[in-house]
Amino acid sequence: MKISTILIIIGMIIISLYFSVEVSYYASADTVVDNKSDVPYLLIPKINVEQSINNKSISYGIYFEPKSSKPGFGTTILFGHRTFHGSPFLNLDKLKKGDNITVSWPGLGNVEYTVEKSFVVPASYRMSVDQGNTLFLITCYPLGSSKERLIIQANQTKINPFQATKTNETSKKPYALLFIALFFVFGLILDYAYPIQEDKIILFIVTVTLTVFLLLGYFFPLPADQVSSYISNVSSFFGFD
């Protein structure tokens, strides 16, 4: 086996691990909330965010900081990733002063906010949870890095009576299968284009094996936090932090 083949196999393994993050997220996203009729939602029309809020982990999408207050009762803090785990805050940096945000919270109401400002702080920054009726959306910055945090500050303007929010959010499981299919096609194209004829069968076997690994992650998804921990350990090992 050529050294180039070994390097490609290592690269495929790393890529499959990153794909497994998304497969695990989308395969388990529908089961994160125990009672789907009692789910809070975050709606940001400017960047097409219509997603449920969870109280388990940022690895499951938009996460409510339990040390903060519920909307309408003080400072509310929500976290979300810009890359992986569904990337709910991918375009958070596009929000400007005056943009509208709604947090629809069963039992409380549809709480309306207006963006006041955005700012960037070190990753070690600790935010006070006693800043009045204010909403903070927090994500990593810049895109693809976790060195800093981008924070959107929005002030509460009014609370409307709660109405079940009609969103475009549907089952996310098909997206997991799409990621698996993309990886398999990528492996086949790589195998077809690889110039070392005697190692083609090895790359094909690796492609099939890793695709089966992703399929197992679809049918038996690991906890999102556990998958992220594996990725972090691999990145640290190869010096990608």
The full set of domain ranges for the chain reads 3-28+171-237, 35-160
Place of tokens 């002063």: 97
165 pLDDT exceeds 80? no
For 59-71, how does the pLDDT look when each residue is reduced to its tens digit (9 = 90+)? 888 999 999 999 9
CA–CA dist 89, 77 (Å, integer): 14
**In angstroms, how far is the first alpha carbon of the chain from the final one?**
30
HSE-CB at 128 with a 13 A cutoff on CA atoms is 6
Give the percent of the chain with pLDDT over 70.
Answer: 85
Q: What is the pLDDT of residue 41?
A: 93
- Quote helix, strand, coil % in the chain, to nearest 5: 40, 25, 35
CA–CA dist 19, 141 (Å, integer): 21
Q: What is the pLDDT of residue 21?
A: 85
Q: How far, in Å, are 52, 139, 148, 165 from residue 104 at the CA level?
A: 9, 20, 28, 7
* The CATH number, out of the four listed (3.50.50.60, 2.30.40.10, 2.20.28.10, 2.40.260.10), of the domain defined by the range 35-160: 2.40.260.10
pTM for the model stands at 0.79
Cβ-based neighbours of 118, under 8 Å, separated by 6 or more? 93, 95, 150, 151, 152, 153
Start-end of H helices in the chain = 3-28, 173-193, 200-219, 224-237
The token duo for 218 is: 């679809």
163 pLDDT exceeds 80? no
For 24-59, how does the pLDDT look when each residue is reduced to its tens digit (9 = 90+)? 888 876 655 444 557 899 999 999 999 999 988 888
**Which of left, alpha, beta for 84 (phi over 0: left; psi -120 to 50: alpha)?**
left
214 pLDDT exceeds 90? yes
Nearest to 20 by CA among 90, 83, 85, 87: 85
DSSP-assigned letter for residue 91: T
Start-end of H helices in 29-170 = none
1: pLDDT confidence band, cut at 50, 70 and 90?
Answer: confident
